[in-house]
Amino acid sequence: MWKKKEKRKEEKEENLLKELCGDDTKLYDFLSSSLYLNPITAIPKTDLESLIEEVEKSINDENYKEAMQKYQTTVDKAILEAAQNPRERDRYISVIKDLSLKTIKVAKKIKNMGEKAVFTPFYLEGRINHYEFMSERVEDVVKISSLFYNEILEESGEIDRREERSIKRGESMRLEERADREERDRRELRGKEIKTMGIENRREAEKKDKEEEKKEKERTEERRKQEIDAEKKEKISEKEENERRKTRREEMRDTRKT
């Protein structure tokens, strides 16, 4: 079941990316192999400036293999931050282009090392082509990546909120079931006690018991009403989320065209 859900999620996000890229198949092919379905967990939480310092240290140490790996992580981080900080998009575009050109430079340096190269020529050529495309189409890459990441993060938030509401409803139902069991146990115990009483005391106890049963029925009815209200609110929340999702998709189409 989990694998089926993951597959459906991947197909859904793949369709989203295709929709965002439109007829630009080159951009789609590039982004489909570059973006993450779960960027928050896949990309380090370390801030961009620290990652840049780390990769520069690797270059200074002439550890080019490590530098290549860190450049990829740093570029991924910059793309995610660009999505999260739209007002600073121009700055991130400049940073990503600069990082891409530096990555190309390192890849070519490793390629020229010949037998001492730590990567195969095929891999290095692929990295060079990858970052050349990145540097040439950086504005489009950042634009579509931002739309894609913001949408899947928003949907992820909606899923988390639905799960949280579901957990709360489950906890409430368990408390109600426990209260019902305890009340049944109390009634059963009272019934046994009443049987041992004298006539006068029994009548008085039975009278109190009926009053308590009436109150319990009222409490049960009130809980049922609350359950119905909770279900109605959940349906309203889901409807609002669907409407917001529809609005976002329309806004994304408009943004893609500009």
77 to each of 84, 178, 249, how far by Cα in Å?
A: 11, 49, 24
Rounded Cα distance, 29 and 146, in Å: 16
pLDDT, position 220: 73
Asked whether 12 and 122 are in contact (CB, 8 A), the reply is no
Concatenate the DSSP letters of all residues of 80-96 into one string: HHHHH-GGGHHHHHHHH
**For residue 120, which phi and psi values (nearest 5 degrees)?**
-75, 150
User: 3-class SS at 207?
Assistant: helix
The chain-wide mean pLDDT, for the chain, equals 80
pLDDT category at 2 given cuts 50, 70, 90 is very low
Residues 6 or more apart in contact with residue 149 via CB below 8 angstroms:
35, 39, 79, 80, 83, 84
Per-domain boundaries in the chain: 2-153, 156-257
pLDDT, position 3: 47
Per-residue pLDDT, averaged over 235-241, amounts to 65
Q: Which amino acid is at 12?
A: K
pLDDT, position 170: 66
Q: Indicate the DSSP class of residue 43.
A: S
pLDDT, position 219: 74
Q: Kindly report, residue by residue over 63-104, the tens digit of the pLDDT.
A: 988 999 999 999 999 999 999 898 999 999 999 999 999 999
Higher pLDDT, 26 or 120: 26
The encoded tokens of residue 210 equal 């009926």
Read off the pTM.
0.64
